[in-house]
Amino acid sequence: MSRVLVTGASGGLGGGVVAAFADAGWQVAGTSRGEPPEPNAAAPPVHWLRADLADPAGARSAVDGAVAAFGGLDALVCLVGGYHATPIDELSWTDVDRLLQLDLRPTVEAVVAARPALEASGAGAIVTVGAKSALSPGSRMSAYAAAKAGVIAFSAALAAELRPRGVRVNCVLPGTIDTPANREMLPDAKRGTWVDPRQLGELIRFLASPESAPLSGAAIPVG
């Protein structure tokens, strides 16, 4: 049975991703920075790990917990991230650093911690989450776009470095994801092109699975 660690699994996208893996028969470990969701008989089975992924010790603890629970790790999915818009006339390095800490650092720390276990699996996979707006940013997105562009570049470099070691790396670039938080933030938006979390979860599962074995180094726009 394949084993995956999903960082930020308790967030808005996490439910769709966890369900996609669990329904396909994967063992799923998920991280939550705060208290994990309450047990729910209708929810997919998840081995919850409380960890701050921006902290190297937190990332190592999460990976160690998943490996201890499952006996190894076949895939890492990096969902931790967030959005904040700042107009350029109000932008400071504090704003940029906040987005780097939120969107880039947790991915870096999770990958650094999980790499040995993924290499040991013999056919490991990493899936990261960038953003379409990193390629074509809108107004007030300078800090966010820079942080997500960092995720894309980091993922591409990882793909080149880790493929010879048996680990594939791909990055998905969603548009606006249809989450409760985004609906609250954008109540008047037309949601026809928004990305469904479960559909994105299915794509992420595919990228993490042996079905996509020839694919590494891709940055895939979604929505």
DSSP string across 93-161: HHHHHHHIIIIIHHHHHHHHHHHHHHHHHSSEEEEEE--GGGTS--TT-HHHHHHHHHHHHHHHHHHHH
Do 145 and 96 meet the contact criterion of CB atoms below 8 Å apart? no
Euclidean distance between CA atoms 95 and 6, whole angstroms: 26
Kindly tell me the sign of the dihedral angle through the C-alpha atoms of 201, 13, 173, 102: negative
pLDDT tens column, 13-39: 999 999 999 999 999 999 998 887 777
Residues annotated as part of the active site: 144
Please report the pLDDT score of residue 176 as a whole number.
78
Euclidean distance between CA atoms 6 and 31, whole angstroms: 6
Phi/psi at 39 (5° precision): -55, 140
Instruction: Tell which residue, 200, 204, 141, has the closest CA to residue 169.
Output: 204
Using the predicted structure, report yes or no on whether residue 212 has a pLDDT greater than 70: yes
pLDDT, mean over the chain: 92
Please report the pLDDT score of residue 58 as a whole number.
97
List of residues 6+ apart from 104 with CB closer than 8 A: 147, 150, 151, 154
pTM above 0.85, yes or no: yes
Counting DSSP H helices and E strands in the chain, the numbers are: 7, 7
How far the first Cα of the chain sits from its last, in Å, is 31
Q: For the chain, list the domains and their CATH numbers.
A: 3-222 (3.40.50.720)
